[in-house]
Amino acid sequence: MDFDMGKRAGDLRRELRELVAEHVPENFLGAFTHDPADLETAQRFCRTLAERNLLCLAWPQEFGGGDASVWEQTVVREEMWAAHEPRGAQYMGVNWVGPIIMRHGSAEQQRRHLPPIAAGEVIWCQGFSEPEAGSDLASLRTFARPDKDGWLVSGQKIWTSYATMAQWCFLLARTSRIGEGATTKKQQGLTIFLVPMDDPAITVRPIGTMLGPHHLNEVFFDDLRVTEADVLGTVDAGWSIVQDVMSFERVGIARYARCERLLAAAPAVLGERWDELSDELRGRWIRMLMHCRRARLLAYRVVALQDSGRVTPGDAAAYRIAVTKLDQDSAEVLMDVAAEVRRTDARAGWFLGEVEDHWRYSQASTVSSGSIEMQRILLSRAMLAGRT
């Protein structure tokens, strides 16, 4: 459990914090607010990181990265998430879209898609979940029917984050129905397509929530034409890529870093009033700091396994369970602490805004990117398999 982040980690953290302090307003609450200036702040900051070769730090140099270690990229994840993710939606392209295209994409797809991601110029969204295929993703109904030299895709996706701002979609569709040819299971006959969001056959409808705009959307495909050039990997073999996506996606967000930052800031924000808090509340606060450490170590374990090519769905699920529960439990503690903050205190406005946003976001954390119930099933299966 003793993970060495490398000699450069400390200097890298300082550099990233200096860049955030210089380029990101203190009251920044993410790129997905009603104020277009927040999105522009994130896009501008991504370009700044890219110019310094910090956006895709661990990518190979041939794809526009810095050829750094996964631990240095982990430092970037932690510092960005602690600062309310000033990369905006770019983390998706950096953390998993780019690496998945490196693993499974053709040379032409790599040339087309990786440089814009590395430069911070493009936003991706994920076309996975459907109204009747969320946790049970393999039951999706979006279908690509053969037509001339390609396919016509029709169907609906839901809960699609960033669809209103994305230029590209990582789309999962069924290309063979169960019972056709070699397709005997619902995990078979699925294909990944890389499609441009400005195609007129795609319609996006935002879903209003307390999370704010851009987070959730419906996406409709009405005979979207795709060809072999849009296929990632092999036709009908998309499920193996989906499993790869999940292992990257579920450890790509260092949620524990924001929880820890807010918890650590609480005593300074309250000042002398901190000593007046009940022993029960301070005890819960200490417990949450311990849980931050636990989630961090679980994340490091998965990063180490991922680096060695040995990560399993069970490993990612264990981390995901811990960090999403941390999100929600720490949010409750922080809300109770925030109730004791006087708005006249120096950093009260910043702290209260951050805590409220953290609480709102945490409500969906055990559902997004795979529900906690499904994570427990994955972990249970992995544990049972290990005993046999």
Active site positions, annotated: 249
Please tell me the distance from the alpha carbon of residue 161 to that of residue 151, in angstroms, as a whole number: 25
Q: Are 106 and 282 in contact (CB under 8 A)?
A: no
User: Could you tell me which residues come within 8 angstroms of residue 261 by beta carbon, excluding any fewer than 6 positions away?
Assistant: 82
Q: Which H or E run includes 195?
A: strand 190-196
**Of 218, 225, 175, 173, which is closest to residue 196 (Cα–Cα)?**
225
Q: Which residues pair with 171 in a beta bridge?
A: 127, 193
CA 103: distance to chain centroid? 19
User: Could you tell me which residues come within 8 angstroms of residue 75 by beta carbon, excluding any fewer than 6 positions away?
Assistant: 5, 9, 12, 13, 16
Task: Quote the longest CA-to-CA distance of the chain.
Answer: 73
User: Could you tell me which residues come within 8 angstroms of residue 157 by beta carbon, excluding any fewer than 6 positions away?
Assistant: 127, 128, 129, 130, 142, 171, 218, 219, 220, 221
Please tell me the distance from the alpha carbon of residue 343 to that of residue 274, in angstroms, as a whole number: 15
Q: How many CB atoms lie within 10 A of CB 385?
A: 10
Instruction: Name the region of 215 (left: φ>0; alpha: ψ -120 to 50; beta: rest).
Output: alpha
Q: Are strands 150-157 and 217-227 parallel, antiparallel or unpaired?
A: antiparallel
